[in-house]
């Protein structure tokens, strides 16, 4: 009802209503949480319900109106609007980990070299991603990876990488601050990269696209562009 009432006013009117948003743990804790705090400071009549999980939230069954998800949704009935399209996963590690690599093994230069390294694997729902896919000049390489640490929480994987526990494959957006601060560095593989990992703002129905939704979307796009720039 709050969102419906807000929609009756001009776009310049003071925003009111509730943002019921789901985001992945890493993105949610490190970026979305402080961004929403700033958004509420700008729009004090807006309230927030923030749900953070690396499992896919049921937008129909749970009290969530919006979700930030990497990759286009498989459910074609959902409305997906892009926040950023040119975000890509980056192979990364700490300088500490790279400095301790055995000289006989060396820093990985090709995708297949990763089989010799401790790779930090992320899981979703019931399975872990134990194969990383790289692309170069129209060619594809799939590499089986393994390591002594796995988690279904993306922020845990990021923290392990920062602590020098292994090599991780993380969204550029999730680790932008770590790269800038030097806590992580990119491990380049002779031009081999992972395909873009776009971020979408998703809602179950178009009727939920109201002035508050549009303001949140525009705000997120602006903040994401600032981070990646």
Note whether 96 and 170 are same-domain residues.
yes
Note whether 161 and 178 are same-domain residues.
yes
Which residues in the chain land under pLDDT 70? 1-13, 60-62, 75, 124-127
In a domain, 219, yes or no: yes
Note whether 76 and 101 are same-domain residues.
no
Here the CATH number for the domain that contains residue 155 is: 3.40.190.290
Note whether 77 and 112 are same-domain residues.
no
Residue 217 to residue 223: CA distance in whole angstroms: 10
In a domain, 16, yes or no: yes
Note whether 78 and 11 are same-domain residues.
yes
Cβ contacts of residue 42 below 8 Å, gap of 6+?
Answer: none
Residue 67 to residue 56: CA distance in whole angstroms: 9
In a domain, 191, yes or no: no
Q: How many alpha carbons fall within 13 Å on the CB side of residue 6?
A: 23
SS3 18: strand
SS3 200: strand
Contact 212, 45 (CB under 8 A): no
Note whether 119 and 182 are same-domain residues.
yes
Computed over its alpha carbons, how large is the radius of gyration of the chain? Answer: 19
Contact 120, 168 (CB under 8 A): yes
Note whether 202 and 155 are same-domain residues.
no
Q: Domain count for the chain, please give it.
A: 2
Q: Can you list the positions of beta strands (E) in the chain? A: 17-23, 46-52, 66-70, 79-84, 89-93, 119-124, 127-128, 131-136, 139-144, 150-151, 167-171, 185-186, 199-203
**What's the pLDDT score for residue 125?**
57
pTM: 0.85
**Domain range holding 50?**
2-85+198-228
In a domain, 158, yes or no: yes
Note whether 42 and 67 are same-domain residues.
yes
DSSP bridge pairs for 51: 22
Instruction: Report CA dihedral (74, 79, 82, 83) to the nearest 10 degrees.
Output: -110
What is the phi/psi pair of residue 193, to 5°? -135, 165
Residue with tokens 């994401």: 224
**What's the pLDDT score for residue 4?**
53
In a domain, 193, yes or no: no
In a domain, 207, yes or no: yes
Contact 53, 190 (CB under 8 A): no
Note whether 79 and 155 are same-domain residues.
no
Note whether 121 and 165 are same-domain residues.
yes
Structure-token pair, residue 212: 């508050």
Here the CATH number for the domain that contains residue 12 is: 3.40.190.10
In a domain, 113, yes or no: yes
In a domain, 192, yes or no: no
Note whether 99 and 181 are same-domain residues.
yes
Note whether 80 and 134 are same-domain residues.
no
**What's the pLDDT score for residue 44?**
95
């Amino acid at each position: 009802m709050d969102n419906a009432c807000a929609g009756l006013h001009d776009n310049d009117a003071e925003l009111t209503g509730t943002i019921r948003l789901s985001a992945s743990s890493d993105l949610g804790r490190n970026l979305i949480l402080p961004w929403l705090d700033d958004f509420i400071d700008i729009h004090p009549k807006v309230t927030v319900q923030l749900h953070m999980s690396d499992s896919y939230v049921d937008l129909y069954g749970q009290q969530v109106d919006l979700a930030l998800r990497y990759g286009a949704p498989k459910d074609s009935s959902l409305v997906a609007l892009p926040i950023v399209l040119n975000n890509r996963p980056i192979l990364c590690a700490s300088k500490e980990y790279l400095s301790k690599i055995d000289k006989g093994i060396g820093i990985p230069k090709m995708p297949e070299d990763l089989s010799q390294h401790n790779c930090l694997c992320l899981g979703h729902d019931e399975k872990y991603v134990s194969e990383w896919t790289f692309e170069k000049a129209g060619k594809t390489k799939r590499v089986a990876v393994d390591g002594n640490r796995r988690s279904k929480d993306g922020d845990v994987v990021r923290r392990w990488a920062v602590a020098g526990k292994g090599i991780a494959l993380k969204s550029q957006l999730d680790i932008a601050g770590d790269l800038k601060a030097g806590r992580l560095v990119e491990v380049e593989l002779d031009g081999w990269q992972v395909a873009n990992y776009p971020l979408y703002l998703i809602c179950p129905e178009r009727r939920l696209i109201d002035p508050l939704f549009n303001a949140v979307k525009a705000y997120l796009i602006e903040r994401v562009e600032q981070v990646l720039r």
